[in-house]
Structure 1
Amino acid sequence: MDDKEKIAGLLGPYLNDGHFYVVDIQVAGRRGGHIKVTILLDSDAGITIDECADISRKLGTQMDELNFFGEAPFTLEVSSPGVDYPLTAPRQFVRNVGRQLVVTLADGNTRKGTLESVTSDHIVLVIEPEKKPKSKKKKEADLITEAAPVGPTPILFSQIKKANVEVSFK
């Protein structure tokens, strides 16, 4: 069992019976020097700074008592993923229904649209037709390329390489 799995196991009691969930755990500097542990947590209603600080204090104390990294010093950081962090868990997608997403697929193609719904194995993205300048349309019409889908488009979680909320300040 690696450090991430052990930390995830220690986190269990602090997740309020599944109210909070782990988005990511990163351990850097394990091969000597100062170790930095970064834990990203979220919930269906979001997570506050105070909740992150409380979990960080409890987990940090437990890791110290267990002498988790031996004599190596470590820093523990617990926070929420932030709006620019890619969506990874289905629960994160549910929280973002109605928002614009940019989804990179496993085959390298990109889809951009409004997240309409989420099921256990896929999302439905409503893709708007791309607006292109007239001169570009003629050039592209000469090229035989696969047209991007338009309208409600189901995308399996297994096909998603990366998904980000598109932040707009309009």
Structure 2
Amino acid sequence: MSTNPTDRLRELLEPLASEFGFDLEEIKVTRAGSRRQLQIDVDADGGVDLDAIAEFSREVGQALDDSDVMGADPYVLEVGSPGAERSLTLPRHWRRAEGRLVKAHLVDGGEIVARLLEVGEDDVLVEVQPVKGRGKPKERRLTFAEIDRARVQVEFNRKDEELLDAAEDIPDDENILDDDISDDDIPDGEGADEDE
């Protein structure tokens, strides 16, 4: 067994994460005042469910209590999933980010912002966004060897096309209109046209 605390934690927790169908993404131990903080990030295809995270967190706590990996000093355990702007370091990270906007720093010193269209075994297909909105997006295939580092970008102004499509599919007779509400539906004292 390794003497590095993070490696020892990984050896202890990786099988437990696998039982839950999770990938153990990151383990970080930091000092928070007089206590230590142990942060564990897990992920899975299709994302992770909060109830499953809570159950996994209980199991992690029990496994840590049953071992001496964290020693005798107090610590705070925090279990979660990678944030919205996660780093893309493994092929599975790229696969889980399909459809998202990514910023990639290339080995040759270049940088691109692109929509991730498809992930292969050794490469990705992206749609490079035009500079300042001029021109049309262009598809480009990048091998993982060409990419130094990459990160998912948060998009605040992107419309959720699935929600818009779903709203367009609602039949008109299912929409609530003012004409559908009669005076009998309004409790006493709440009507706007009551006689005083």
For residue 172 of structure 2, what is the aligned residue in structure 1? none
Contact 1:104 1:161 (C-alpha < 8 Å) held by counterparts: yes
CA distance in 1, matches of 2:18, 2:133: 49
Amino acid at match of 1:99: R
1:168 aligns with 2:170: no
After TM superposition, the score normalised by the length of structure 1 is 0.76
Residue identity opposite 2:31 in structure 1: G
**Alpha-carbon shift at residue 14 of structure 1 (Å):** 2.0
Partner of 2:52: 51
Partner secondary structure for residue 114 of structure 1: strand
Q: How big is the shift at 1:158?
A: 6.2
Distance (whole Å) between structure 2 residues aligned to residue 25 and residue 167 of structure 1: 27
- What is the alpha-carbon root mean square deviation over aligned residues? 2.6
**C-alpha distance in structure 1 between counterparts of 2:150 and 2:140, whole Å:** 19
**Aligned partners of 2:125 and 2:139 also within 8 Å:** no
> Which residue is equivalent to 2:27?
25
The size of the alignment, in residue pairs, is 154
Q: Give the corresponding residue for 1:77.
A: 78
Higher relative contact order (CA 8 A, sep 6+): 1
How far 1:35 moved relative to its partner? 1.4
Q: Shift of residue 71 of structure 1?
A: 1.5
Return the offset for 1:86.
Answer: 2.2
- Partner residue in 2 for 1:140: none
Residue of structure 1 in register with 2:140 after alignment: 152
| SS of corresponding position for 1:29 | strand
Distance 1:52 1:96 in 2: 20
Structure 1 gap segments, 5+ residues each: 134-149
Change (3 A) 1:7 1:163: same
| C-alpha deviation, 1:151, in angstroms | 2.7
TM-score for both structures, normalised by structure 2: 0.67
Q: Secondary structure at the match of 1:98?
A: coil
Q: Distance in 2 between matches of 1:40 and 1:103?
A: 22
Q: Which has the larger radius of gyration?
A: 2
Which deviates more from structure 2 when the two are superposed, residues 56-65 or residues 102-111?
A: 102-111
Q: Distance in 2 between matches of 1:50 and 1:27?
A: 24
Structure 2: which 5+ residue stretches go unaligned?
Answer: 159-196
Moved over 4 A (4+): none
Partners of 1:128 and 1:92 in 2: CA distance: 21
